[in-house]
Structure 1
Amino acid sequence: MSSPLTILVPGGSGQLGRELAALPGVSVRAPGSAELDLTSAGAVIEAVTALAASSARPVVVNAAAYTAVDKAETDQGRAFAVNADGPRVLAAACSSRGVPLIHVSTDYVFPGDADKPYEPGDPVGPRSVYGLTKLAGEDAVLGSGARAWVVRTSWVYGAHGKNFVKTMARLESQRDTLSVVDDQVGTPTWTGDLAAGLVALAEAVTGDAAPEARVLHCTGGGETTWAGFARAVFEELGADPARVLSCTTADYPTPAKRPAYSVLSDRAWRESGLPPMRGWRAALAAAFQVDGAAYRP
């Protein structure tokens, strides 16, 4: 019988980190940024050293990130510190202690001008500061010498923290109609499924037949627009989805440019022997079944 897996999750107080910490049957240490600040090299080295010393099968899943996409446009220093410098320090610590690293990244590293799902090796070209900082983090991790896997995901929501699903549920209770952007295409990803997928990868990379260290994509299956996502949320709330009206990106300008198309292909994920994610609509229904009260205002 193999030794039990122990996962260190920087960013443990975020929506993905809290989902990972709540998974049954997995030993997870999930410190928040107040407990483990990725920009503090000493704290990072200490945490990874302690993990390596206490477990026969250690792995780090980095869920820490600066995710305020619009604020990053004017808070570039902090965004780069958390999304690029922090992962660089973390990867160096993992490399020196032989600990595998799984680093969570984003669809925002792509330009968003494709017409078919992005493969991991497709050309990148972020159009926002947030995307630039996340790409810099990817490069730092992959160039560190650590046994590292970058996992890109998209449109993440869950029972913890703030997210699109909770915002739509709140606005449904406050407004007769709601205008939502209908010309940006992507894939919603439930933290419940994403966390399970990351643990499956962690089990694989610490096993006897670890997949090749590489960039992988892990999202819900299929695709939709933000308006389509909002209508599905209304359906789960028992509300009329026709109350969600369509608008364009130009109607709703934001400081940071969003990708017009950011669907990610899971082909490399499946080819690595990892379980495919369910379709995004089925996942949303499951999320409401499991944590419905958390999404309602």
Structure 2
Amino acid sequence: MLQEVLNGLMSRYQERVPDVSAVIAAMVSKGLIGKADDIENDHIAFRTMGVPQLGVQSLEKIFLHYGYTKMDHYYFASKKLDAWWYAPPLPKYPRIFISELRVKDLSQAAQDIIISYTDEVKVDPVTLLDLDDSKAVDTFLHSGLWRTPTLADFQTLAAESEYAAWVIYNRYYLNHFTVSVHNLPAGYNTIAEFNQFLEQNGFILNDAGGKIKTSPDGKLLQSATVAGMIPATFAGGDTIKIAGSYVEFAERKVLPEFADLPATAIRREHRREGFEAGNADKIFESTYSTQTKKSS
């Protein structure tokens, strides 16, 4: 069931985010992988609204049901976000990162707009799902939870929180998936080398805080493409281009206690685990106008 849900998420994400197929095609062309399934997906991420009947406490029920374990909490003060990551039941599955907007930390005007939409959801919708029905879960994750927003509401929210604007339009749409670069062939298995490969192939990288986001311990390095701009139709028929989703890349270095292991023996459990708030804070900006203006 979990694999079916993940397949559904990835197939729609790939259809909607041209960079996904383009990155995969470039990797296949260079011989880094034979096919898309050869990529180890480090993690996938979702964005949510922090209101009582939605947010992390609702969405996480799906993944906890499929055997995920809730791990560390992260707080992003400037972006008014909370987030948690979830460890998969087996190493073959991606980690999951779910963030939520601290709606009550926004201005009253922004709160009123958000609540006018989220109040259409009267009860936690996940409680109404049969979590053993993977097709029902897949459909839910790609369905609108509230009415299509107006362009005016979207723009008002974007002026205060680009995260809020992204969620009010995209709902639970998959925000990104992440290529594990450390398992790629030598010459491409570090973020620095892989970023060079990406830029040589014409991909635009998020440079908020630098193109390589590095944890204080130096063991987790991340980068991301800038979200492509996609046409969005709002209530009343207004159509503009807004930020869609993006692709992330992660390099997890081997922990010191396993440094003597031969390369062929290194598994996921031997590498740096978890996430880093400082890195994630800048990765969020892949959908922000300071970055997307480079691709529009």
- TM-score (norm. length: structure 2): 0.31
- TM-score (norm. length: structure 1): 0.31
